[in-house]
Structure 1
Amino acid sequence: MADRPIIFSAPMVRALLAGCKTQTRRLLKLPKWASTDPDHIKFGGSGAPEVICQGTGCLAALPLPYGVGDRLWVREGWRAARSLDRTPPRDICRDADVEHAATARSYAEIGLKGRLRPSIHMTRWASCLTLVVTEVRVERLNDISEADAVTEGMPDFGALCEALDPGKLNAVRETAAQTASRLRWPQRWFEGLWNEIHGDGAWAANPWVVAVTFTVHHANIDALDIAARAA
């Protein structure tokens, strides 16, 4: 088990907070010794991923960036007070007030909002969300199921569909959720999200990805330690 940072965009942070995102997919990065042929990734008898070594042609276990039990502290866009705009994150006092861009409160209300800092520069102490990994899979991107696409944080398209064309739904005796499923809206939504993050054509490339399932804890990672010791 390990503690690692993980970056999310503001919309995905809001999905985490709302409880509708419990999975994330990240590009699988192969080790330098591994074959880059996408067809050279195999699955052994235990289901664990393996990859062909360039030097020997033999299969070897594929190391993964996440494991069950890992704790991921969420990095997101953030701000400190305007008076700290020139202070590097590492030098900001741990007791300083921080505004998280996804929820945008506190400093904006009193006119002291500092500059927006990129998520990559969020320090561990400033994080307010922790994810505990419960499952890790390796799969091709396009193999995402409807259920998994929904848990990636999909908006309520069923309600949107019903609002746009309720008459048609009633005529065919089909619920909004059934319409969304029939039209593969969950997968189509995720395709758009993936292309938005990785660029046009990223979905069509169908890369190997690491699919991570997790539980969401609305607390700093170190606060979880304190709570566990007190229990």
Structure 2
Amino acid sequence: MKIKYHPILFSTPMVQGINENRKTQTRRTKGLEEINKNPELYRYDGICTDEDDSYQGSHFFEYINNQGKPLETYHPIDCPYNVGDVFWVRETFCGIIQKDESTKYHYKANSNWALKEALKIIWKPSLFMPKKACRFFLKIKSIRAERLQDISEEDAIAEGIEIVGKSANGLTLYKEYHLSVPNFHPVTSFRSLWISINGIDSWMESPFVWVYEFERINKPLNFGV
């Protein structure tokens, strides 16, 4: 089966997480807009694996009533991506023309102020990064859906949150992405990360999200050529 490649945008802190091999999951809402109009009315029930079923490969969301009880009525949704597909990462970048007219790419995720000043870098948004500048490729290992606030501590760490040190009594400290004080709880750190990107309303609404678990792979031959 031919591998499908899909562009995906990552913020600079998350690109750093990928580069340091501490980010192996990402959560996205694309494709779930309809049920997220009222996520309280649904419960995720998994993916159909019956080869004889016309919904084979679809993810089922079960309707529930106001008391939280299932109504045995399902809403099938096809995920925008499949296990085995590959994300190619778009990140904030800059392309500098060399004397031989080739282009050398620099990336904000591994830059420093000295480099920026020396090269007079003006960063370009990740949305405009071309294929030939891509340096990270992520193969999807598994897909499921869950409510945003249901994230576990283990998964929050897999989202790539940054460890910033240890407390006096040896507890791990995680970064707060919209405050200046680190915290001890990985879910709290992930919440601050999500809010810094998507806003506090998105967190409070706790939408359904696709949970993509991935692994880094080498750059495919002739990609972006």
Question: What TM-score do the two structures reach when normalised by structure 2?
Answer: 0.73
Residues 79, 113 of structure 1: 8 Å contact kept: no
C-alpha change, 1:108 and 1:176, in structure 2 (3 Å) is closer
Amino acid at match of 1:189: S
Q: Say which is worse superposed, 135-144 or 23-32, in terms of deviation.
A: 23-32
Q: Which has the higher contact order (CA 8 A, sep 6+)?
A: 1
Q: Tell me which residue corresponds to 1:86.
A: none
Q: Tell me which residue corresponds to 1:187.
A: 187
- Greater fraction helix: 1
| Identity %, equivalent residues | 28
2:149 alignment partner, one of 131, 137, 142: 142
Shift of 1:75: 0.2
Q: Tell me which residue corresponds to 2:196.
A: 196
Structure 2: how far apart are the matches of 1:42 and 1:224? 36
Q: Tell me which residue corresponds to 1:89.
A: none
Shift of 1:156: 1.9
Shift of 1:65: 1.8
Structure 2: how far apart are the matches of 1:197 and 1:35? 18
C-alpha change, 1:176 and 1:224, in structure 2 (3 Å) is farther
> What are the within-5 Å matches in structure 2 for residues 11-22 of structure 1?
11-22=13-24
Matched, 1:216 2:207: no
Number of paired residues? Answer: 194
Q: Tell me which residue corresponds to 2:179.
A: none
User: Partner of 2:211: helix, strand, or coil?
Assistant: strand
RMSD: 3.3
Spell out, residue by residue over 1:51-95, the C-alpha distance to the aligned partner (whole angstroms, 9 max, x if none): 479xxxx63421112211011110001111278xxxxxxxxx8x5
Structure 2: which 5+ residue stretches go unaligned? 50-57, 64-72, 175-182
Q: Tell me which residue corresponds to 1:176.
A: 171
Shift of 1:111: 3.8
Question: What TM-score do the two structures reach when normalised by structure 1?
Answer: 0.71
Residues 146, 184 of structure 1: 8 Å contact kept: no
1:160 alignment partner, one of 163, 166, 182: 166
Shift of 1:18: 0.6
Structure 1: how far apart are the matches of 2:47 and 2:126? 39
Matched, 1:205 2:205: yes
Structure 1: which 5+ residue stretches go unaligned? 84-92, 170-174, 226-231
1:75 alignment partner, one of 90, 102, 106: 90
Structure 2: how far apart are the matches of 1:44 and 1:29? 15
Shift of 1:41: 4.9
Query: Larger C-alpha radius of gyration, 1 or 2?
Result: 1
Shift of 1:22: 0.6
Amino acid at match of 1:125: K
- Greater fraction strand: 2
User: Partner of 2:204: helix, strand, or coil?
Assistant: coil
Structure 2: how far apart are the matches of 1:206 and 1:131? 26
